[in-house]
Structure 1
Amino acid sequence: MRSLRHRMLILLLGSLVILASSIIIILGWYIKDRDIAAATNKAQIDLATCMEIIDTKYPGSWSVQDGELYKGAIKISLNNDMVDHLALLTGDTVTIFLGDTRAATTVRGSNGERVIGTKVSPNVAQTVLKNGQTYIGEADVVGQLCQTVYAPLRAANGDILGMFYVGISHAYEQEFINRSLITMAGLVLALTILVALLALFFFRRWVRYPLNSLIGVQEVAAEHNNQKVSISGTVEIEKLEDAFIQMAEQIQTLTGEISRSTNNNVENTPLKSDINNVLEQIKASEQISERTNTFIPATEAELLSRLETPWYSRAEGLPKGLNKATLDQIVQFLQATHRPISTEEVAEGVKLTRVTVRRYLEFLEEHGLLKSEQKCGTVGRPVKIFIPL
């Protein structure tokens, strides 16, 4: 059986793990979408940069001579130095197409050779060569998915002779995403650990320590002559503390009454001097009376009448939270002192808390057995004094 502490820790850590996992997943999707948008934007910028470099370095129009692609007077087909230079500047793969066929490229196949002479995918050819539009988006480049941009190459008369391509491999994108996720996971993990430590600190301060103090309140109270032990915690813990202390006081009072009754029996104290023995005699006589359908003997009736004092009436019950043993203890103390007295003095005399004693004194006041007055204390604060009637 796990303790409350372990259950709370498991619940806390489980919640933090779920929260951290959710944050990482959401960030992963967000980073992936942002990465695709960033890759597409980069490819467009790199394409414009490469076209500007080619136009500056190789003036003239695009043309086809003897089945080869030219830019001005410079042959572009198989001009791998040019595409390698552009790829080095941009970090992308670069290809120049004659029609739908690769004439110069940095793209390599599985054998490590340049894929000269291979063709573009049909959907790209339809968009660029047939429709004359720039293709932007994901495309299959020799078996690899890339984020690509394909732009048409036009002759001086406007005819489309080929395409210029730049692309960013998904492997590069995935590497970027992985690095970003690792960084974010590290930050989320550090934040989770920090939150866990803070939650553990406040749990120990507000829940565990008050509960441990409450568990030992009986022993501590016994060591300090039954004085109330103050426990700092949440409202619920403080309410539990009050209820526990009240229960402990009632048990202690009942134990004291039993102990006194036992001592009186051992010392052969007369029956009339012990209220509990009188009650036992009355109960026994009532049971005998019920069984025999006879009236209570005269001697027991006298004992019963002795209990009908201003302090207690058998016909009148006690409200919830008050018990006869504690009431008798307080009444006996008031009868012994028989003078105006404060709650603190009564609490000290009967070894109970002021809160408990105050409830019994107010009960006696409500029934007209005591009256109260406000008097100034030693430090100017009003003190409530109870006066027996």
Structure 2
Amino acid sequence: MQSLKHQITVLVVASTLILAVSIMVAIGMQIKDTAVLACITKAKSDLSTGEALINFKYPGPWREEDGFLYKGNIRINNNNEIVDYISSLTGNTSTIFLGKTRVATTVKKENGERAVGTHASEEVAKKVLTEGKEYLGEAEVVGQRYQTAYKPLLDQNGNIIGMFYVGISKKFYDTLFVDSLTRMALIGIALTIMVFFGAIYFTKRVITEPLKLLTEETQKFTKGDFCSLYYPTKIDSNNEIGELARSIKEMGEWVQALNYQINKATQINAPVAKQIASGADSSFLEEECSNCIKRNVNREKQWGELSKGLNEVTLNQILNYMKEKDCSLSASEIARAVKLTKVTVRRYLDFMERCGKVNVDMQYGPVGRPLKLYRLDIEQ
């Protein structure tokens, strides 16, 4: 059978792992969305930067002439100077299209050559060339996926004659995503480890150690060692375990007191037992029963209802000892004699004091708190 400590450890580990995985999945999804948004935002910003550089370097309107694209008086076809410059500033790929055909680009084919003469995807061409809108988002560029930004190029009459593009390679996006996820994973792992050890420490301190202590004390209790019932001072909590400790303590004190009274009754009633063994008539037994009932009635009249947590057996145990000594006694002396805790004895003495059954004297020493001495009031 697995111990409670192992079961709680397994529960804590499983809960921590589930929580960590759930958080990592949620963070991963958020990082992915954030990385995509960051790439698109950068592409759009670089698109505006590139357009401003083109207008600054090559003033004049865009125009198409004899199948070539011009900016002002400069022919753009195979003029890769401007796209290279834009790429060097932004770190992105850059392309200028005539229609949907690349005429100047930094994008390269698999063989390493510039992808001049290749075409944009139909999805992009439809959005930009047909509808005249910007295209922002992932798109296929010469067989690879990029986070892209496209905008139409207009001639002086407002006709769409081409496109300008900047794009961030999916490799860059993947690197950004992986790096961000790795950092968050490391932070998540560190927090998970902290939560795990914190939970283990809390469980050990609040649950397993108090239960272990209770088990050790109750094992002593089952062997008749009632003097070991001091653990409530070690388990000072208001939760269920603390309540269990206090209940076991009260039960132990009650059993201890009952054991004391049984031993006492065995000695006191030895003559009665002898009379029974010798075959005494029933009148003797009836008289003893009557005396017992009278003693119980007198006790009810004398003490009234006991306070919560007190029991008659323990009260009689303390009372009988004080009768035997017939002198002023401290709570510590009584506790040692009747084998109860000092705290328990003081509760009963306080009750007897409220009932007016004991007299209390204060003994003052040279230093420290005064000592309370209790003496049974014989007149009561």
Stretch of structure 1 that moved more, 58-67 or 31-40: 58-67
User: Is 1:245 the counterpart of 2:249 in the alignment?
Assistant: yes
Matched residue, 2:357: 371
Cα deviation, 1:62-88, whole Å, max 9, x if unaligned, reads 232331222334332233454334323
User: Against the structure 1 CA distance between its residues 281 and 180, is the aligned structure 2 distance closer, same or farther, given a 3 Å change threshold?
Assistant: farther
- Cα offset, 1:13, TM superposition: 2.5
CA distance in 1, matches of 2:19, 2:144: 36
Matched residue, 1:387: 377
User: Is 1:120 the counterpart of 2:114 in the alignment?
Assistant: no
Are the counterparts in 1 of residues 353 and 359 from structure 2 also a CA contact under 8 Å?
Answer: no
Cα deviation, 1:269-299, whole Å, max 9, x if unaligned, reads 98227xxx59x969x99xxxxxxxxxx8112
CA distance in 2, matches of 1:83, 1:163: 13
CA distance in 2, matches of 1:223, 1:302: 37
Matched residue, 1:334: 322
Matched residue, 1:290: none
Matched residue, 2:67: 67
CA distance in 1, matches of 2:191, 2:17: 11
- Equivalent positions of 1:1-389 (< 5 A) are 1-110=1-110, 112-217=112-217, 226=228, 228-229=230-231, 230-236=233-239, 237-254=241-258, 271-272=270-271, 297-308=282-293, 310=295, 326=314, 329-339=317-327, 341=329, 343-357=331-345, 371-378=357-364, 379-380=369-370, 386-388=376-378, 389=380
| TM-score normalised by structure 2 residue count | 0.78
Cα deviation, 1:132-170, whole Å, max 9, x if unaligned, reads 333233333344443221122223343322111111233
Stretch of structure 1 that moved more, 181-190 or 36-45: 36-45
Are the counterparts in 2 of residues 147 and 167 from structure 1 also a CA contact under 8 Å?
Answer: yes
Are the counterparts in 1 of residues 147 and 168 from structure 2 also a CA contact under 8 Å?
Answer: yes
Cα deviation, 1:201-256, whole Å, max 9, x if unaligned, reads 33333333333333333678988955734314422333322222233334444555
CA distance in 2, matches of 1:384, 1:41: 86
Runs (5+) with no aligned partner, structure 1? 286-295
- Cα offset, 1:374, TM superposition: 4.8
Secondary structure at the aligned position of 1:235 is classed as: coil
CA distance in 2, matches of 1:312, 1:341: 28
Stretch of structure 1 that moved more, 99-108 or 245-254: 245-254
Are the counterparts in 1 of residues 148 and 167 from structure 2 also a CA contact under 8 Å?
Answer: yes
Q: How many residues are aligned here?
A: 367
Runs (5+) with no aligned partner, structure 2? none
| TM-score normalised by structure 1 residue count | 0.76
CA distance in 1, matches of 2:204, 2:291: 55
- Cα offset, 1:58, TM superposition: 3.1
- Cα offset, 1:112, TM superposition: 4.8
Identity of aligned residues (%): 39
Q: For the aligned residues, what is the CA RMSD?
A: 4.0
